[in-house]
Amino acid sequence: MSSSSSLGICSSRYSGKQALTYLKDAYLIDWFTLGVFGVIFPFILKTSVHPYRRQVALDDPQFSHPFLKDIVSTQVCTLSSLLIPCLVGVIVEWRWVRRTKRWIPAIFNLHIFILGLLEATLCTVTITEILKLVAGRPRPYFLSVCEPINGSTINCQGNAAQIEEARKSFPSGHTSLAFAAAVYLTLYFIKIFWLSEGFYRNWHLWLLLVPLLLASFVGVSRTMDYHHHFSDIVAGAWLGTV
């Protein structure tokens, strides 16, 4: 039995108030652990733990690129990775409610969809932040913000916040987040198309490529603005996909 059909059978036993109570009792621990390990823990890592400081040769060309503005900002990447899949989920369930006139199963399904999305993306963010701190790989623009002291890049005298961020190149956080959301949304599309029609049309397959293409653009843009090395992008895409 599919998860969607089992949810429908389960949720059909409840009134609106009972359904909300069931969601609270059954998934409260999931939301709690998600908040601790997906929000609080990475926040502590980002604000309180410093990345490993690597020595970089002053004439190394791979770290000598200019410091440019993000093509895709952190805010745009984060909001898009969360809001676009949520909007798709709301539209799908809204259409289901219009067809069946039953809104309680839709709440169950949408809740599971959003919880799964946040688990995928926030866990990806946490793992990415840990790897960034451990690796301490300098970004391509590192030397332009470091301003080395006595010819050593272990200690820099530039802007402290920029230097801290410039030591977090591996893996790409933008790419890992974008691919986590894109792959999750693609798998959701596959499920919806198969449950609704039992087979895939040609336009379905093209639609499945859209999230992955958008995530790929985010990754490539991080090399265009010199915020990441190509290997950072590959690692971020792999991590987000997993």
* Number of domains making up the chain: 1
Residue at 58 is within a domain? no
Residue at 224 is within a domain? yes
Residue at 88 is within a domain? yes
Nearest to 124 by CA among 172, 45, 177: 177
Alpha carbon separation from 77 to 83, 86, 128, 181 (Å, rounded): 10, 14, 15, 10
Task: Tell me the per-residue pLDDT of 113-123, one tens digit each, with 9 for 90 and over.
Answer: 999 999 999 99
Q: Kindly report the pTM of this predicted structure.
A: 0.86
Residue at 9 is within a domain? no
DSSP letter (8 states) at residue 62: G
Phi, psi dihedral angles at 168 (to 5 degrees)? -125, 60
Query: Mean pLDDT across the stretch 186-214?
Result: 81
Residue at 179 is within a domain? yes
Which tokens in the block code for residue 136? Answer: 């301490």
Residue at 78 is within a domain? yes
| Distance of alpha carbon 68 from alpha carbon 48, whole angstroms | 26
**First vs last C-alpha separation in the chain:** 25
Query: Mean pLDDT across the stretch 55-81?
Result: 93
Which tokens in the block code for residue 123? Answer: 């866990």
Alpha carbon separation from 28 to 21, 23, 24, 31 (Å, rounded): 10, 8, 5, 5
**CB-CB contact of 170 with 231 (8 Å):** yes
**CB-CB contact of 127 with 37 (8 Å):** no
Query: Mean pLDDT across the stretch 155-166?
Result: 91
Quick one: pLDDT band at residue 107, thresholds 50, 70, 90? confident
In terms of pLDDT, which residue wins out, 230 or 25? 230
Give the list of residues 6+ apart from residue 152 with CB closer than 8 angstroms, or none: 55
Residue at 6 is within a domain? no
Residue at 74 is within a domain? yes
In terms of residue numbers, what domain contains 192? 15-52+70-137+169-241
- Mean residue pLDDT of the chain comes to 87
